Structure 1
Amino acid sequence: MSNHAPIIPSLSDSGIHYYQTYEESLALWPVHHETFYVPTRFGQTHIIASGPKNAPPLLLLHGVLFSSTMWYPNIAEWSSKYRTYAIDIIGDKNKSIPVDLNGTRTGYADWLLEVFDNLGIKKAYLVGLSLGGLHVMNFVLRAAERVEKAVLLSPAETFVSFHPNFYKYALGLFVPNGVENFLKWMMGDRYVLHPNFAKQFHAGVMWQDELRNQKPKADGFPYVFTDDELKSVKVPTLLLLSEHEVIYDPQSALHRASTFVPGIEAEIVKNAGHVLSMEQPEYVNGRVLSFLDK
């Protein structure tokens, strides 16, 4: 494993501010952790690691604009049994440093393979939320031999297309009150982000960086997998969707996943919205561990 200090390019004022808010969110991490970078040909990948170094590896992939710090409500339980690696997805707003990102589905899988290799991991458990869930499914279809089990939490698209409102609110993030409106739409009155994390999310939206503002591509993300792709899944998979999901219809996603993915365990979590790992951490933590442990 390589954990040499990266060469961090000069940051704009908004980038410096974002890095400061990231550290403030990381202060919420309830267990011992270490942070480091691993090199890939796509850039330096930032990782937060916790748990016993000799425990089975569990890789965590976050939602868009949320970064690895979003796992603070989950990490204590998961890292009690696993060596957790919370990976900042390259090309998104976080502390990874992209240099050459083609943004294709194959490219993203190759990036994650290089992360595996540079961590010295032959096979791991994977958990991903939203964009991270999409990455997990993409990786499962391209490198099944490297995955013990996969957990998808409210995966972005993957099974069904986004509701048109998603684009309306996502594009509206950059107008006055756009962040507040987006979070209100996504979380309703059920949940309020911790002030540290809300500050980081807002800073990520405001951070203008071409390498971290990837434009959608025809062979990139977001993506709805075909029937044949879903039928070909060879890894034990758990899918948790949310009762109050707004980015797509959770019942349709549940039906399509259950119809095509062999042996999938799929359910809708009550009293939760899109970011269910933060809204209902007690249930999600236990449900994920029970699936991984058996």
Structure 2
Amino acid sequence: MTNHSPFIPKSSDSGTHYFQTYDESLALWPVPCKTFYVPTRFGQTHIIASGPKDAPPLVLLHGALFSSTMWHPNIADWSSKYRTYAIDIIGDKNKSIPADLCGTRTGYADWLLDVFENLGIEKSHIIGLSLGGLHTMNFILRASERVKSAVILSPAETFLPFHHDFYRYALRLAEPNGVDHFLKWMMTDRNALHPKFAKQFHAGVMWQNGTRNQKPNADGFPYVFTDDELQSVKVPILLLLGEHEVIYDPQSAFNRASALVPGIEAEIIKHAGHVLSMEQPEYVNERVLRFFSK
């Protein structure tokens, strides 16, 4: 495992603590990996690469505040078949270093195109969860020729607006016990995050950094795609939702996606909620590989 960081936070910056917790979470990664940065017009993007270098590429886009380390329960299976690139989304709490936060949907697609170019990826499978799922759909609609197929897990908005409870809990994250209340709401007693990962999540919430605090933008995220946009999708998509999803009604999201997105495969997974890749990793890992092998 290598880690070539061009940036070390000042000792007064809570990012120092966050970077330490990130490295502790990365120690959960069960397979060899290489970590590095690639330049983009919006800043330095941090990547965790695993799997055979000559295998087909698979890009992973994480959920908000979770970073690429969230894929530790999935990466062994996926990197056995693919060269995986877990990408820290620019502007979120992770190791990427934003210089000019794009903020718009077009800008985020351009950022990911820059990453593809610097990795030498012509066309890739993509998996995105929550915020990463929103990025995945956005990229599909703006650069479909670069996407072989995609798996979208519990996407943030995308098909439906957030339930008002999401904002109620999210806006209180930095309050005392706010993280515990948020995770309890999202996962109840089905699953507990690994203590090292939970520590990183908490550190990310508490890290106050203006370049990594995404603000709503009329031309940015969060965003619910229009009927016309969803009907224009040109790549194969697998949508996985948890039956205990709380950010919106999963059956309604399933219904809208199934009605509008051409050829989509959609499934609601039992005994899973929002972070289904961590709650039901064995099933999700196998289901993803089965979809990509078609």
TM-score interval, normalised by the smaller of the two chains: over 0.9
Retained in 2: the 8 A contact 1:8–1:97? no
Structure 2: distance between partners of 1:260 and 1:218: 23
Partner in structure 2 of residue 238 of structure 1 = 238
Unpaired runs of 5+ in structure 2?
none
Q: Is the 8 A contact 2:9 2:16 kept in 1?
A: no
Instruction: Render the CA deviation track for 1:107-140: whole Å, top value 9, x for unaligned.
Output: 0000000000000000000000000000000000
Deviation at 1:149? 0.2
2-structure distance, mates of 1:167, 1:240 = 23
**Alpha-carbon offset, residue 166 of structure 1:** 0.1
* Paired AA for residue 222 in structure 2: P
CA distance in 2, matches of 1:255, 1:26: 37
Task: Please name the residue that 2:80 is paired with.
Answer: 80
What TM-score results when the alignment is normalised by the length of structure 2?
Answer: 0.98
Give the equivalent residue in structure 2 for 1:283: 283
Distance 1:7 1:15, change over 3 A: closer
Could you say which residue in structure 1 is the equivalent of 2:122? 122
Distance 2:68 2:95 in 1: 9
The answer as to 2:151 corresponding to 1:154 is no
Corresponding residue number in structure 1 for 2:166 = 166
String of CA shifts for 1:242-274, please: whole Å, max 9, x gaps: 100000000000000000000000010000010
Assess, with a 3 A threshold, how the Cα gap between structure 1 residues 8 and 44 changes in structure 2: closer, same or farther: farther
Amino acid in structure 1 at the alignment position of 2:45: T
1:14, distance to aligned residue in structure 2 (A): 1.1
Structure 1 counterpart of 2:120, one-letter code: G
Aligned in 2, Cα 1:11/1:62: closer, same or farther, shift over 3 Å? farther
Maintained 8 Å contact 2:62/2:89: yes
Q: 2 CA distance for matches of 1:272 and 1:68?
A: 20
What is the aligned partner in structure 2 of residue 25 from structure 1? 25
Offset at 1:180? Answer: 0.2
Aligned counterpart, 2:292: 292
Contact 1:4–1:38 (CA under 8 A) maintained in structure 2: no
Q: Distance in 1 between matches of 2:8 and 2:39?
A: 12
Amino acid at match of 2:246: V
Pairing 1:1-20 to 2, within 5 Å after superposition: 6-8=6-8, 10=10, 12-20=12-20
Partner of 2:201: 201
Structure 1: which 5+ runs fail to align? none
Give the aligned partner of residue 184 of structure 2. 184
Alignment of 1:213-228 (within 5 A): 213-228=213-228
Decide whether the 8 Å contact of 2:122 with 2:146 is kept in 1. yes
2: CA distance between counterparts of 1:164 and 1:32? 41
Superposed displacement of residue 8, structure 1: 4.6
Task: State the partner residue of 1:268.
Answer: 268
Residue 63 (structure 1) aligns with:
63
SS at match of 2:150: strand
How many residues get paired? 292
SS in 2 for 1:174: coil
TM-score, with length taken from structure 1: 0.98
- Give the alignment's Cα RMSD to 1 decimal: 1.1
Alpha-carbon distance in structure 2 between the residues aligned to 1:187 and 1:273: 6
Rounded to whole Å, the distance in 1 between the matches of 2:224 and 2:34 is 35
Is the 8 Å Cα contact of residues 57 and 82 (structure 2) preserved in structure 1?
A: yes
Contact 2:68 2:87 in 1 (8 A): yes
Cα distance, 1:102 vs. partner? Answer: 2.6
Opposite residue 94 of structure 1, the aligned amino acid is N
Q: Is the 8 A contact 1:238 1:291 kept in 2?
A: yes
Task: Label 1:252 to 1:10 Cα distance change in 2 as closer, same or farther (>3 A).
Answer: same
Q: Is the 8 A contact 1:74 1:277 kept in 2?
A: yes
Matched position secondary structure for 2:225: coil
Q: Percent identity?
A: 79
Segments ≥4 residues shifted beyond 4 Å: none
Within 5 Å, give how 1:34-113 maps onto structure 2.
34-113=34-113
Q: Which letter does structure 1 place at the counterpart of 2:195?
A: P
**Amino acid in the other structure paired with 1:45:** T
